[in-house]
Amino acid sequence: MSVAVARPPSRKIDFRYLHGQPRGPVCYLELGKPDAPPLVFLHGFGGDLLTWHYCLVGFVSRFRVIALDLPGHGRSTLDVGAGTLAEMVAWTGSALTALGIDGADLVGHSMGGKIAIAFALAHPGRVRSLQLIAPAGLGGPFDLPLLARFLDCATPETALDLASRLVGSASSALLGTLAKSLLTGADRGPRQAAFATLLGDATTIGSGIGEHGVPWDRIACPVQVIWGEEDTILPLPEPSRLSPGAPLTLLPGVGHLPQIESPGRVVPLLDRFLP
Amino acid sequence: MIERVVAELQRILADKGETHGPITAGSLLLDGELPIDSLDLATLVVALEEQTGREPFKAGFRMFTTVGELATLFDEAA
């Protein structure tokens, strides 16, 4: 006679939710050491917390690793309000507070990078270090119309076209998976409205922070910048827009998604820079 | 170690109700044939750390892309 024994679920890590937040639920992922310094990841426009790929596992031994789904993205609330940068900063601060995080090392990609910069400006005491991967907000060219066109007409063909623009020449193997992911993300009605609001508000992911660029002199924590040399969506801006003295690494053959296209180079860069 | 990695992967995929082909040392963990995402990858690494008591990334991140490479990192962390 056999006896069925209940097997514990293998998923030791799963999506978690903060309820009672001003705009609705916050979805996040937490792994690593609960008592270690917090390391927080903020993804880019159209992405979600899963876009960090190898970045998360690389830090589980030494950090309390948190990846957030920003409003309008992933499994977090679709309520983005007016989509302003100030709202995104307030939302991030509220989420971190609810997680019991007073200060953290921040890693932000693209729109998440812009939010991270603005968060560091608004709350300098809460950011131990700032690592920016192709961050928005520095000013300079940004191919927003390409993203808007895709949202207006999301088809397998336009998804593949956008995917080919997002990655560099060394990452053609990722095109199929990326296009599928883009199409899935754009295929939800309420999310489309959230994306449109975020795209429509230039202060969120369009123009630079501050009339004359980011006031880097007001950010006291260490800053590192990582950029793909072949990023045509958000190309590296002129040197005067970068944080003076901050290490800048340009990755050859890489486009706008360095953490996905080249994790073997990005994760060690992030790792070595952490305090 | 490779058997343990494969077994844990199979368990994760079974829990998700995913069907998949054979898992070999050369199987890509992400962006390949296996239907796993970065959350599954994190689950895999953490589960293996708990089972073995080894932390392959304690001294810093080392890149891996295949099942066999991950197994080697755990072997070397012994």
If you write DSSP's letter for every residue of A38-101 in order, what string do you get? EEEEE--TT--GGGGTHHHHTTTTTSEEEEE--TTSTTS-S--TT--HHHHHHHHHHHHHHTT-
* CA dist., res. A231 & res. A253, Å (int): 9
Q: What is the mean pLDDT of residues B8-33?
A: 89
Contacts of B58 in chain A (CB under 8 A): 61-62
Interhelix angle B67-76/B38-52, nearest 10 degrees: 30
A20 close contact with B: CB closer than 8 A: no
* CA dist., res. A189 & res. B48, Å (int): 39
Confidence of residue A6 (pLDDT cuts 50, 70, 90): very low
Say if the Cβ atoms of A267 and B37 lie within 8 Å.
no
Q: Which of A11, A58, A177 sits opposite B61 (nearest CB)?
A: A58
pTM above 0.90, yes or no: yes
Q: Which of B14, B31, B47 sits opposite A177 (nearest CB)?
A: B31
Burial of residue A175 (number of CB atoms within 10 Å: 0-12, 13-18, 19+):
middle
Sequence-separated (6 or more) residues with CB below 8 Å from residue A176: none
Helices (H), A189-244: 189-200, 202-205
Residue A13 has pLDDT above 80, yes or no: no
Residue A184 has pLDDT above 70, yes or no: yes
Residue A2 has pLDDT above 60, yes or no: no
Please choose, from the candidates A182, A183, A173, A154, the residue with its C-alpha nearest in 3D space to the C-alpha of residue A253: A173
The dihedral through the CA atoms of A51, A55, A57, A62 has a sign that is negative
Residue A25 has pLDDT above 80, yes or no: yes
Residue A11 has pLDDT above 60, yes or no: no
DSSP labels for A144-168?
HHHHHHHHHS--HHHHHHHHHHHS-
Please choose, from the candidates A207, A192, A224, the residue with its C-alpha nearest in 3D space to the C-alpha of residue A116: A224
* CA dist., res. A55 & res. A51, Å (int): 9
Contact A193, A77 (CB under 8 A): no
Q: What is the mean pLDDT of residues A172-178?
A: 86
Q: State the virtual CA torsion across B25, B56, A225, A195 in degrees, nearest 10.
A: 60
Contacts of A64 in chain B (CB under 8 A): none
pLDDT for A3 = 44
pLDDT, tens only, A48-66: 999 998 899 889 889 999 9
pLDDT for A168 = 95
Contact B65, A275 (CB under 8 A): no
Lowest mean pLDDT among A70-79, A94-103, A193-202, A242-251: A193-202
3-state secondary structure at position A191: helix
- Interface ipTM > 0.90: no
Q: What is the mean pLDDT of residues A86-115?
A: 96
Say if the Cβ atoms of B42 and A60 lie within 8 Å.
yes
pLDDT for A4 = 43
Task: Give backbone dihedrals phi and psi of A166, rounded to 5 degrees, phi first.
Answer: -75, -30
Contacts of A131 in chain B (CB under 8 A): none
Q: How far is CA A1 from CA A5, A6, A7, A8, B65, in A?
A: 13, 16, 18, 22, 43
